[in-house]
Structure 1
Amino acid sequence: MDLSDIRRRYCMGGLRRADLPSDPLDLFETWLKQAIEAKLPDPTAMTIATVDASGQPFQRIVLLKHVDADGMIFYTNLGSRKAEQLGHNPKISLHFPWHMMERQVHVTGQVEKLSTLEVMKYFSSRPKESQIAAWASKQSQRLSTRQALESKFMELKQKFAKGEVPIPTFWGGYRVKINSIEFWQGGDHRLHDRFLYQRDGDNAWQIERLAP
């Protein structure tokens, strides 16, 4: 297989300075809504990048669960590798790969842990089996076999069969306080459109066009 021959044209449309709102979250929410309406697989999926204590970057995919003027929210096991790394270094990068619409969004920022009330509210909204799975998995820890994981899940499913599933003390969420957002729209002849929103010293958004 010759990977160098794999390419395609990007010709679904451009992004112009005149199209940009003053607040990048307005454009992000428009693009997210369009991705959902276009029935893209997992439109809320985002790659999150963190760095360990030695400076080694790590990436994984999680789901965006909320976005507003205060930031972007995701949930995870607080004993996971990502949580440990964010404890060392709260800086984070998010990437939304909406390939079918020839779009990408890249976010940088810092995380803060969600309040207990915010975590309780979301956890209680999850399907019961998802709640149980949160208990069953010691995320990022070594696992002998898949059967061990499934057995633990079934054991907990029986335990919580007749009642509510309590929130694990090791489960929570993060809010990403946004420092920058870059919007990428594919363009013909590889002349892609890229616009970067960054906060200035007065916490206002400044917009720059970047070369592709």
Structure 2
Amino acid sequence: MSTVRRQNLTERIYQQLKQSIFDFQLLPGDRFTESEIAARMQASRTPVREALSRLQREGFVEVSFRSGWQVNPLDFQQFEQLYDVRIVLEMAAVKRLCAMEPAPDLSALERIWLVAAEDRLEHGPTVCSLDERFHEQLVEACGNTEMARIHHDVTERLRIVRRIDFTKRPRIEATYVEHANILRHIIERRSDEAQWLLKSHIEDSKAEVRRITLHMIFQARHQPNNSYPPLQANS
């Protein structure tokens, strides 16, 4: 197998394994071997090992010499600490945005979030990606690259649970309403109110994510066919 082909296969295995973790097809605490994954995905162990090593660096799995690989348990205490970091960074960003001269250009966000109810998107994964970019763009608009880098790292580490917030329609609707309110207050330079709205928005999301995640894990553990389709090595 050529180097390029192996790298492409490794990327595809990595993406599929990561998606399986996100979808709770591979559950927190599940154990497996490289051979089992290679057989399921109809691939050799080398690209599987490379994909798993990448997931390990990102904190999704861990390896043991005696028992193979394991999906890391969800550490809600760590997630709550990461949410707290988000709140600190984003409130600081909002405060700076409200004071900037000239006012920051937030037109790209306005086109997405300041829309009529009938123009709102309903596809959860799409809204999840837009939500992630909403918060990142608020921080990036401040012009502090180090703050943006730290915030991006926190966002990456929270992604496994944050996406859960967009599996229910009421949460999608709430996201549109709350983002619109935050944006309007930033545009009007009402710093204190904008920061309070942002803090409440993130804290509500944090609480809802924990509740839905625990429910989804419970459901997944009681479903008989919790598996994913094989990845063809030559496709």
Higher helix share: 2
The TM-score by the shorter chain falls in which range?
Answer: under 0.3
User: Normalization by structure 1: what TM-score?
Assistant: 0.26
User: Normalization by structure 2: what TM-score?
Assistant: 0.24
